[in-house]
Each structure stands twice: as C-alpha cells, then as structure tokens.
Structure 1
Amino acid sequence: MSDDGPVEGRGEQIQQAEREAARQRLLAQAEAERIPAEETTRAVPDRRWRRGQR
C-alpha cells in the first residue's frame, strides 16, 4: 500500500511532462503561423456602409 504514493506521483509527473510538451508544440505552431504586423494591412470600411450614405 505504501507504493501507491510514488506510483501516483510518477503518473502525475508524466502527465505534467506531456502537458508541457503539448504546450510547447502549440506555441511553436502558433509562432510558425504568426503573421508579422508589418505584413498585415489595416481594414478600411466600405464607404457604402457609412452612416448617411446610400
């Protein structure tokens, strides 16, 4: 019965390591897909939709 603690602790350590690895993969993917601000353009509203114009 005294072995239950270390087994649970080891399982928790493995889960924590897996969560951290998944977090790192997500961050790497997000960085790879990131578009630099310099390459984006500002949205310009369509003049037709401005108030008071048809």
Structure 2
Amino acid sequence: MEKALTAYYEHFGENYPLVITDGKSDEDIIKRINECIENNTLENEPVYDDELDY
C-alpha cells in the first residue's frame, strides 16, 4: 500500500484521497491507484453534502 501511495504522490504531486476508500480492500485500492497512474488521471475528490453530519 505504501509503495502505491508513494507512486501516486510522486506522479501527481498530491496525496491519494484515502477517505473515499472506506470498506475497500488494500488490493482494490492499489489497483485503483495503479489505474490512475496508468491513465494519468487524478482520483475524484470526495463530494460532501452540507446538509449531512459526518
């Protein structure tokens, strides 16, 4: 996991938004990070609803 997160940071210059990974396995997160890097696309930032309490 640490290697994938570091690769994402080195590629994009920002941290991967781990807050969106709730409930996903490490393997799924690493796969998604690798897809982002391969496609040169940042992961979508989480969307928050002002009407909800988190």
TM superposition score normalised by structure 1: 0.30
Q: Which TM-score applies when normalising by structure 2?
A: 0.30
Q: Which has the higher contact order (CA 8 A, sep 6+)?
A: 2
